[in-house]
Structure 1
Amino acid sequence: MPSSEPGLRTAMRRVPRWWLIPAVTVLVLSGLAAAYWAGTTTAAGTTTAQATSTVVPVSATVERRAVVKQVTISGKVIAGAQVAVKATASAGIDRLVVTSTVKGAADRVAPGELLAVVSGRPLLILPSSVPLYRDIASGDSGPDVTALQGALAGFGYSVATTGTFDAATQRALSGWYESVGSETAKQGATKQDAAAADSSSAKTTPGTSTPAVVLRWREFVQIPGDTGRIASIAGPGAVLAEDGIVAHVTIADDAIVARADVLQAESFAAGTPVTVRAGSAALDAKVGQLSGFKDGDPSKNEVPGKDITLPLPAGTQGFAAEQSVTLTAGAAAPEALAVPLIAIRQESGAAYLEVEDSSSLRRVDVKVTAQADGWAALAEAAGLAVGDRVRLP
């Protein structure tokens, strides 16, 4: 036991390693140096890349175009209102048959004219101001007689407004019938005789040489507003249905109606010139009416806003009822030199452009005449032409 203790004590003795401290120090410093070098290299590379990048100038071309503020909305052609004109059977008439017509589709109709002959009797147009509710015989008085006399006078016949159906009224009425190639209803002096007699008979009032004329209200028709245009009319030989409709008359021309939102409506005041287009057809017109605000209807694809109405002159080609159209407000402008609005520069209140030459920029003073849709129209300027390149900011 005692003999082995010195060897064990020797084996456990520490071996001095003084060189480790400088070695570790060198390694740490080397790592720091490498990290610093890598960082500076990366920064230098980034700086070099940034320094070498160049700003590419942006430019635009001078054009010649019309610069104008225009607002376009969609609309539709709406058919004008129509009224049915009916014939009424007089006493002794079994059925209504069109004997002849003097008017055709698209013809204008007005008071004083003959519309057609039905079952041998004329169908004359009276002003709507004449109340028709009874047959009138000689000596009858009333507001209907007064209105009739006024209408006959308006047709150019010599008749005084007395309110009594007198001889002068008879002559005027006979003259009207004769002017359309028809005979008056020559009947007895009383309405009872007139109702009982056949329309083709003629009697003379006792003691007179002029037959008493009875106005048969069923031989007259009236049109709301007094004038219109024939949309359709039964032809000669046609047997009318029980309703007696002989013609349909359009009493209002077709119109164009479009809905504009509140902002758009500001460009469509009444009287504003607009251009209406339907396919290849175009029409210059004026806004007739601008409605009050109306709620939108999503089911009809209608936005909240106001309705613009334009009358469509009768006979206008290319605009049929229910056809879709576009309405553009804003007068057409002549073409002029134009550049993007952002190309305009200002200095001390003066507008100018920077025009690119082969290797430099030159200043050209300009005058802006109009602005719309991001473009500026320019007055003609020396040193500026179509195709020139102008620098954008």
Structure 2
Amino acid sequence: MNRTKILRWAAGILVLALVGIAAFWAGRTTLAPADSTVQRPSSDSTVTVEEHELGREITVGTAVKREQTPAATNLLDGVVTQASTSGEFAAGDVLYAVAQRPVVLVTGTMPMWRPLTEGAAGDDVTAFQEMLAADQRGLKVSGTWDAATAQAWKAWLADRGYPEADTVELGQLVMVEESPISLAIDTQSGSVGTQLTGGETVVSMPSSDPAFVIEASSQEQAALIPAGTLVTVPYGEHTWKAIAGEASQADDGPVEIPLTSPDGGAVCADRCADLPAEKSTSLLSQVSVVPPQSGPVVPVSALRAQPDGRTVVTVVEDGVDEEREVTVKTSADGLAVVEGVETGERVRVLNEAP
């Protein structure tokens, strides 16, 4: 090996050594922990305490269930040619018609038990004449079917486009003790085109005290509505307050939570007649899962739990921090209503450093 090659070899070794030393110190610099005396800039901020009402509501489905009592059994045979919809009816209203024979609501205490024709007399004739007299002025209510009654009946039918008839067939009158009254018309047997043979319940009277029941979509939703929870039930121009009862669940059915008024009665109180007459009606209700509370509101991130069980916030005034104990009245959606601070004061929000 000549002198030139020896020098080149020695130079290469030196370069490799220098590269290794440099890499070693670079690694030392990269992996060394940061100087513990260097402080990260604080990301805490302050907010002003404001007065608010805080709470949380959820919307749930509520079923209004009404027991149905038959108002009368259909006694006519033929095809339904006219059908009313469920609702409120007064004496003289047509509920449905079979083969163009109207079935009419009449106010009376005795159910229709016979056809009404010439010579008939009794309370049922009186009730029928009173219905006609309200429309055919001048008809004398005598309690006995006479020529004037027959003529008034023909005029009543003609005014409404029905064929002339000399008698009232058995089944053409539905007697109720008072009217106006809410009645439910069956959507199957009472629909136009249906063939009736007699014996069907076409018209029913709903109960006067409907049951209001929340139908929870899941066990988790039901858990948000313990007994005693305040519920608001809007319907039309009404807004009713209700209290939730104990939840129950039938096999493979929804979780049901009964509702009552605050005094324990029906939710609709004395306005139940305003509800639909159907067996079941679906409404939407608002459930107060966090009862509303008013007072000074701070972010939940401003609260700190202490080992002794106290909850404190840091009040900042003129750049000076003051630790102050507070009582949390309620919280929702990242905010809390507290006692112990005043509106207008500033509290420190403890944000996490990046």
TM-score (norm 2): 0.51
- 1:126 Cα shift? 2.5
User: Following the alignment from structure 1 to structure 2, what is the Cα–Cα distance between the partners of residues 390 and 265?
Assistant: 36
Tell me which of 208, 225, 232 is aligned to 1:274: 232
**1:356 paired residue number:** 316
**2:343 paired residue number:** 381
**1:177 paired residue number:** 157
Tell me which of 52, 63, 68 is aligned to 1:77: 63
Provide the secondary structure at the position in 1 that maps to 2:112: coil
Do the aligned residues in 2 keep the contact of 1:62 with 1:390 (CA within 8 Å)?
no
User: Following the alignment from structure 2 to structure 1, what is the Cα–Cα distance between the partners of residues 99 and 317?
Assistant: 90
User: Following the alignment from structure 1 to structure 2, what is the Cα–Cα distance between the partners of residues 222 and 75?
Assistant: 36
Alignment deviations for residues 318-351 of structure 1 (CA, whole Å, 9 cap, x no partner): xx9686966424986789744569969xxxxxxx
- 1:180 Cα shift? 1.7
**2:130 paired residue number:** 150
- 1:88 Cα shift? 2.5
Distance 1:78 1:304, change over 3 A: closer
Aligned: 1:216 with 2:182:
no
Alignment deviations for residues 354-386 of structure 1 (CA, whole Å, 9 cap, x no partner): 52368522699x9x9x933493268983444xx
Tell me which of 183, 187, 194 is aligned to 1:228: 183
**2:240 paired residue number:** 286
* Structure 2 runs not aligned, ≥5 long: 1-43, 216-221, 261-265, 305-311
Provide the secondary structure at the position in 2 that maps to 1:286: strand
User: Following the alignment from structure 1 to structure 2, what is the Cα–Cα distance between the partners of residues 284 and 218?
Assistant: 37
User: Following the alignment from structure 2 to structure 1, what is the Cα–Cα distance between the partners of residues 86 and 281?
Assistant: 19
User: Following the alignment from structure 1 to structure 2, what is the Cα–Cα distance between the partners of residues 325 and 216?
Assistant: 44
Whichever of the two has the greater Rg, that structure is 1
In structure 1, give the amino acid aligned to 2:232: V
**1:328 paired residue number:** 287
Tell me which of 103, 109, 115 is aligned to 1:123: 103
In structure 2, give the amino acid aligned to 1:381: T
Please identify which structure carries the higher strand content: 2
Aligned: 1:257 with 2:216:
no
User: Following the alignment from structure 1 to structure 2, what is the Cα–Cα distance between the partners of residues 239 and 305?
Assistant: 38
User: Following the alignment from structure 2 to structure 1, what is the Cα–Cα distance between the partners of residues 94 and 48?
Assistant: 66
Provide the secondary structure at the position in 1 that maps to 2:329: strand
Distance 1:134 1:62, change over 3 A: same
Alignment deviations for residues 139-180 of structure 1 (CA, whole Å, 9 cap, x no partner): 433222233333334557444443333455444434432332
In structure 2, give the amino acid aligned to 1:126: V
- 1:302 Cα shift? 9.8
Do the aligned residues in 2 keep the contact of 1:67 with 1:372 (CA within 8 Å)?
no
Aligned: 1:371 with 2:329:
yes
- 1:286 Cα shift? 0.3
Provide the secondary structure at the position in 2 that maps to 1:177: helix
Distance 1:172 1:334, change over 3 A: farther
User: Following the alignment from structure 2 to structure 1, what is the Cα–Cα distance between the partners of residues 338 and 53?
Assistant: 6
Equivalent residue pairs, number: 271
Provide the secondary structure at the position in 1 that maps to 2:63: strand
Do the aligned residues in 1 keep the contact of 2:49 with 2:342 (CA within 8 Å)?
no
Distance 1:180 1:87, change over 3 A: farther
Distance 1:246 1:381, change over 3 A: closer
In structure 2, give the amino acid aligned to 1:286: W
Do the aligned residues in 2 keep the contact of 1:60 with 1:389 (CA within 8 Å)?
yes
Aligned: 1:240 with 2:195:
yes
TM-score (norm 1): 0.47
Aligned: 1:88 with 2:75:
yes
Do the aligned residues in 1 keep the contact of 2:157 with 2:163 (CA within 8 Å)?
yes
Distance 1:128 1:170, change over 3 A: same
Do the aligned residues in 1 keep the contact of 2:214 with 2:257 (CA within 8 Å)?
no
- 1:389 Cα shift? 1.2
Do the aligned residues in 2 keep the contact of 1:228 with 1:252 (CA within 8 Å)?
no
Distance 1:61 1:156, change over 3 A: farther
Provide the secondary structure at the position in 2 that maps to 1:111: coil
- 1:73 Cα shift? 9.7
**2:19 paired residue number:** none
User: Following the alignment from structure 2 to structure 1, what is the Cα–Cα distance between the partners of residues 137 and 105?
Assistant: 16
**2:309 paired residue number:** none
User: Following the alignment from structure 1 to structure 2, what is the Cα–Cα distance between the partners of residues 122 and 325?
Assistant: 37
**2:91 paired residue number:** 111
* Structure 1 runs not aligned, ≥5 long: 1-57, 90-94, 187-213, 345-351
In structure 2, give the amino acid aligned to 1:227: S
Distance 1:285 1:123, change over 3 A: same
In structure 1, give the amino acid aligned to 2:168: L
- 1:109 Cα shift? 4.5
Provide the secondary structure at the position in 1 that maps to 2:153: helix
CA RMSD of aligned residues (A): 5.7
User: Following the alignment from structure 1 to structure 2, what is the Cα–Cα distance between the partners of residues 335 and 156?
Assistant: 66
- 1:96 Cα shift? 1.2
Distance 1:88 1:137, change over 3 A: same
In structure 2, give the amino acid aligned to 1:140: A
- 1:240 Cα shift? 1.3
